[in-house]
Structure 1
Amino acid sequence: MKKHLITIVCGLCSYVATAQSGSKHLDSVAGDYFLHGISILNELVAIPNDSHFPEQLEKNIEWSRENFEKRGFKSETLETNGVPLLLLEKKSPQAKKTVLIYFHVDGQSVDPSKWNQESPYNPVLKKNDGSGWTAIPMETLQNAYDEEWRIFARSASDDKGPIAMFLTAWDALPMMNKHPDYNIKVILDFEEELGSPHLPNAVVKHKDKLKADMMLIMDGPRHQSNEPTLSFGARGISTITLTVYGPKAPQHSGHYGNYAPNPALGIAQLLASMKDDNGRVSIPGYYDGIELTSKEKAILEQVPDDEKAIQKKLGIARKDNVGNTYQESIQYPSLNIRGLQSGYVGDEARTIVPSEAIAEIDVRLVPESDPDRLFKLIKDHIKKQGYQIIEKDPTDEERMQHPKMVKWEGKISYQAFRTPFDSEPGLWLDKAYRKAFGSSPVKIRMGGGSIPISPFVDALGIPAVTVVTVNPDNNQHSPNENIRLGNYKDGIKTMLAILTESLD
């Protein structure tokens, strides 16, 4: 018994020593190629990539094709009904498995006046001296490094940073005398920030070319602790626009304020009827099919969230009562009012009864929630509130016929996906992370955001896991988006660990 115990202890010590050695080696290689990686990042983010301007995306497609091809990848354009996808492929001798890797290259729109620098497409290195972010010369990195410094630019984190990390790691492989023992297919999406409207049909059309054993999504921020993280799912998304009507034209509130029904009040009452005082959707059946087991709750509890810190960061004294914790809350479908519009406010405020009121709603989906079913439940609820649902602006006849009308415009973008922790990619990535960082990563059962991956999962029948690398406070989609240098270096290290982890 004593000898057996000694053997176990010695084996454990040997494993820990090997893991530490592997981590140090990867860290050293990532450090050696760090400046090379910064140059790739700065070159890529300097190319404007607003999804709304196809001419900008063409330059990004050209850069991507050129940079992958010079690294030995075969490129192919996959046509869609919009901006094409770009498929890059690299085969490995004697490989038995194929990994499909997803990035998106497009970015959110920018308002330069909201950025604290001349241009969102001119990357700027900054440090925080306690009173705010101050620009320092990029050349400073030639002789100095601080993991807390950041590079500010549109798409620095979402999602050009991860692309640059991957290319940097690929360039470092010869130094390690290693290469992947699996085939790699990289798919680049150029319309993700528009909701990838043409992706589902394109995946079905080109599924033979996209065939793989598993999929890695290189997008998104780490857990709020900024510890190494893997995410095993993401909510899907649907959107609804509701328009409630009042008088045909805005009317003087003195003359008609007690006479013409106000659509702003109408839509406020309609929206308020959809949720209770605790923030739960009150529409019967909305949460049907979602029952978290004790095992599932235990998985969620392993995520190192600090609930008080989250609420302090958000500046809220209470939370909605959908789930007992943050992690539980995102296991359910949401019904979020993302915008309201009616009349005028501020300096433009006018004493009128508005002619219409508009509510923009997004519905985040989970695997158990069928978007068509949720849409039907919401529509049925609206009808019970006395509204006639129409699909276009009302005619004069309809205005006289129906006391309450709402125009419905609904769109189902894509479904949710969720992969088990003990799936093949889950176990493989856990080994890679332990090699890189000496321990297993934080594992998120399902992230709250939405990424257009379910079309791949459904059409190709493969498991998918999201490899998240960027700092959680990166301001993605907002002014002053940034990538923390410590995360960028760790990202290169993460890519190296995955590329050198055997999948045979």
Structure 2
Amino acid sequence: MKKILFVIFLVFSKLVFAQDSAQLKSQVRHTIDEIRDFVAIPNDAMEHADINRNLTWLTKKFNDRGFNSSVLPTSGESLFFAAMPMEDSKPTVLFYMHFDGQAVDPSKWAQENPYEVVLKSPEGDGWKNHSFEDLNDDIDYNWRLFGRSTSDDKGPIVMFLNAIDLLKKNGKPLPFNIKVILDSEEEKSSEPLPQAVKEYRDLLQANFLVITDGPIHPSEKPTVTYGCRGITTLSLTTYGPIKPQHSGHYGNYAPNPGFQLAQVLATMKDSNGKVKIDGYYDGISLNEATMEILKSVPDDDSMINEKLAIKSPDQVGSFYQESLQYPSLNIRGLGSGWIGEKARTIVPESATAEIDIRLVPESDGNRLKNLVKKHIQKQGFYVLDKAPSKEERLAHDKIMTIKEGTVTNAFRTDLNNPYGGFLVNSLQNSFNEEVVQIRIMGGTVPIAPFINELKIPAFIVPVVNPDNNQHSPNENLKIAQIAYGIKAFYGILSSTLPN
């Protein structure tokens, strides 16, 4: 009898699994069409009309699912807000995503229009194009959607909406009040966001915040990240002759701004990549427990080196995760005169280095910028915040113009936070896999205003593939990750918080 019952249980389990799998694939197919529709609306945050068209699309799609939505004006582009009808007895989760995207250069893409999604399958070392009519009920999860913002960050928004659809189809009660805030300027630093969060504080109030942005861990395991680095920038310009001069006539006479800039940049780091500026790493200490957490992330540093084609990494940390716990100092762009086929035999009039500084919670962006400026002054430079006049050029041997960018702060939530534990358990139950828990990720999401103003913990639950080419040509979204994202949202929104 026990054997018969066990066989019946196995057959029933397989039927339920097959039904669930078919239902999920059907929802994935619908999600693909909705992603195509959404991506077709250009979303460059520099284009006001683009943002407005996206807001119209979002309003309709969220309202169709039973959300009450609002367009929230800011000092820049408007935010999008949506909420399910509220019940006082339920805890509230606030989701943050963004619908703007990086600008595109179509000439760099392997498709005519980056806003027209193209379906491709892997073939050898390249990709084979397919018609969307080739997508039948048996969807190949290894195929991908190529297009701007498929992964960063329109795809996750559509996955969220389709998870809501699936919850309703299955009659699943929602144990949470659900709020959603969608940023329209994330790709240009979200400058209006801090003031907007203050202004709309009561509307945004929640028990915890879930950010869905960026890729899952390269191991492709479910991932929860407890923080992200912040960012600020500096633009450094040195000066030579007031106009470019013939290098034969003035090459040993007119100071070369490229060499001046290279010399001062070389004083900022040692040969191991560590910043030498006094006080740059102050306040950061990693105890044994923290190091164990960092080492638990299943990274393979040799594979990272292989991917980057580097023999040895910088030694800011002894392994990849440790390196992310410190503020960085990065030359993101460097230029002087002309290069390549356009190179000219001249002494340039100026040289510029664009610097970005990734921040951790222990580091203050304005303080680090001031440390860099003081270091430059110690190298004998007269520092300005604008281009020098002729009189200033004649009065000082070494001049540098420094222009500062805004500061987006870092955040980090305690790894023992109970809401974090809830998210980890939900993902473990959904995927039957150990969840990768990351203390802080390398990239930046403008979340600090929510934490500072709302006083709530925040967590990043990424859903897209690690090799999605975000911000780059040929951005893509693996169809398997659409299924993953729907399942992740479904699991989180159908699970009850422990008492």
TM-score by length of 1: 0.94
SS at match of 1:429: helix
- Paired residues of 1:365 and 1:415 also in contact (CA < 8 A): yes
Find 1:82's aligned residue among 76, 82, 87: 76
Task: Summarize the Cα distance change of 1:82–1:26 in structure 2 as closer, same or farther, 3 Å threshold.
Answer: farther
- The equivalent of 1:328 in structure 2 is 322
Change (3 A) 1:121 1:424: same
Question: 1:184 aligned to 178, 181, 185, which one?
Answer: 178
* Aligned counterparts, 1:73-222, within 5 A: 73-93=67-87, 95-222=89-216
**Distance change >3 Å, CA 328–CA 21, structure 1 → 2:** farther
The equivalent residue for 2:350 is 356
Tell me whether 178-187 or 99-108 shows the greater mean CA deviation. Answer: 178-187
Would you say 1:476 and 2:470 are equivalent positions? yes
1:451 to 409, 427, 445: 445
C-alpha distance in 2 between matches for 1:266 and 1:22:
70
Determine helix, strand or coil for the equivalent of 2:290: helix
Within 5 Å, give how 1:204-283 maps onto structure 2: 204-283=198-277
Cα-to-partner distance string for 1:329-384 (whole Å, 9 max, x where unaligned):
01100000000111001111001110011110000000000112211211110011
The residue that corresponds to 1:316 in the other structure is: 310
CA RMSD of aligned residues (A): 1.7
Residue aligning to 1:288:
282
Aligned 8 A contact 1:26 1:493 in 2: no
SS at match of 1:428: helix
**Partner Cα separation in structure 1 for residue 233 and residue 14 of structure 2:** 47
Kept after mapping to 2: 8 A contact 1:127/1:150? yes
2:135 match: secondary structure: helix
Measure, in 1, the Cα distance between the counterparts of 2:428 and 2:299.
21
Equivalent position amino acid for 1:372 in 2: N
Equivalent residue letter for 2:85: K
Give the structure 2 partner of residue 31 of structure 1: 25
C-alpha distance in structure 2 between counterparts of 1:321 and 1:182, whole Å: 45
The correspondence of residues 363-374 of structure 1 with structure 2, limited to 5 A, is 363-374=357-368
The question of 1:424 aligning with 2:415 is answered no
Q: Is the 8 A contact 2:430 2:487 kept in 1?
A: yes
**TM-aligned CA deviation for residue 177 of structure 1:** 1.2
Task: Tell me, yes or no, if the aligned pair for 1:89 and 1:184 is still in contact at 8 Å.
Answer: yes
Q: Are residues 20 and 325 of structure 1, via their aligned partners in 2, closer, same or farther at CA, if it must alter by over 3 Å?
A: farther
CA separation in 2, counterparts of 1:42 and 1:247? Answer: 53
2:26, 2:137 within 8 Å by CA — same for their partners in 1? no
Q: Deviations over 1:170-219 (max 9, x none)?
A: 11112221132111110011111111111111111221211111100011
CA contact (8 A) 1:234 1:416 kept: yes
CA distance in 2, matches of 1:135, 1:336: 38
Partner residue, 2:4: none
**What is the match of residue 10 of structure 1?**
none
Q: Secondary structure at the match of 1:109?
A: coil
1:233-264 Cα shifts (integer Å, max 9, x gaps): 00000000011111111111111110110001
Gapped regions of structure 2 (runs ≥ 5): 1-12
**Residues 250-290 of structure 1: CA distance to partner in whole angstroms, max 9, x if unpaired?**
11111111011000111111111100000010111111111
Tell me how far apart the structure 2 counterparts of residues 26 and 262 of structure 1 sit (CA, whole Å): 68
Question: How many residues are treated as equivalent by the alignment?
Answer: 486
What is the SS of the residue equivalent to 1:378?
A: helix
1:92 offset after TM fit, Å?
4.6
Change (3 A) 1:136 1:392: same
CA contact (8 A) 1:92 1:180 kept: no
In structure 2, the partner of 1:390 is 384
Distance 2:493 2:17 in 1: 14
1:67 corresponds to which of 52, 56, 61: 61
With 381-390 and 46-55 compared, the bigger mean Cα shift is at 46-55
Q: Name the CA shift for 1:294/1:429 in 2 (closer, same or farther; >3 Å).
A: same
Q: CA shift at 1:425, angstroms?
A: 1.9
Offset of residue 143 of structure 1: 4.1
Q: Give 1:350's aligned amino acid.
A: R
**Which range moved further: 165-174 or 94-103?**
94-103
In structure 2, what is the Cα distance between the partners aligned to 1:293 and 1:23?
44
Residue identity in the other structure for 1:325? F
**Structure 2 Cα separation of the partners of residues 104 and 221 of structure 1:** 14
One-letter amino acid of the structure 2 residue matched with residue 235 of structure 1: R
Q: Which amino acid aligns with 1:38?
A: I
Alpha carbons 1:98, 1:183 under 8 Å: kept: yes
Q: Are 1:343 and 2:334 an aligned pair?
A: no
d(CA) in 2 for partners of 1:142 and 1:79?
Answer: 42
Q: Which residue of 1 aligns with 2:3?
A: none
Please give the alpha-carbon distance, in whole angstroms, between the structure 2 residues aligned to 1:215 and 1:55.
29
Does the aligned pair in 2 maintain the 1:228–1:441 contact within 8 Å?
Answer: yes
Distance 1:439 1:261, change over 3 A: same
Query: Of 482, 492, 498, which residue of structure 1 is paired with 2:492?
Result: 498
CA deviations over 1:31-65 (Å, ceiling 9, x no partner): 23111111111111111111111111111011011
- Residues 287 and 389 from structure 1, CA distance in 2 versus in 1: closer, same or farther, beyond 3 angstroms? same
Shift of the alpha carbon at 1:413?
A: 2.8
Q: What SS does the aligned partner of 1:33 have?
A: helix
SS in 1 for 2:456: coil
1:464 aligns with 2:458: yes
Shift of residue 98 of structure 1?
1.1
Q: 2:429 matched to which residue of 1?
A: 435
Contact 1:20 1:438 survives alignment (8 Å): no
2:223·2:438 contact (CA, 8 Å) conserved in 1?
yes
Q: Which amino acid aligns with 1:37?
A: T
Change (3 A) 1:470 1:21: farther
Letter in structure 1 aligned against 2:406: I
Q: Partner letter of residue 425 of structure 1?
A: Y
**Which of 300, 310, 323 lines up with 1:306 in the alignment?**
300
CA spacing shift, 1:117–1:357, aligned 2, 3 Å: same
Task: Provide the rounded CA distance (Å) in 1 between the counterparts of 2:384 and 2:364.
Answer: 23
In structure 2, how many angstroms separate the alpha carbons of the residues matched to 1:50 and 1:20? 46
The change in CA–CA distance for 1:204 and 1:441 in structure 2 (over 3 A counts) is same
Secondary structure class of the residue paired with 1:373: helix
Q: Are 1:419 and 1:464, in contact at CA under 8 Å, matched by a contact in 2?
A: yes
- 1: distance between equivalents of 2:188 and 2:271? 33
Q: What SS does structure 2 have at the residue aligned with 1:409?
A: strand
SS, match of residue 134 in structure 1? strand
Matched, 1:376 2:370: yes
The CA distance in 2 between the partners of 1:501 and 1:116, in whole Å, is 41
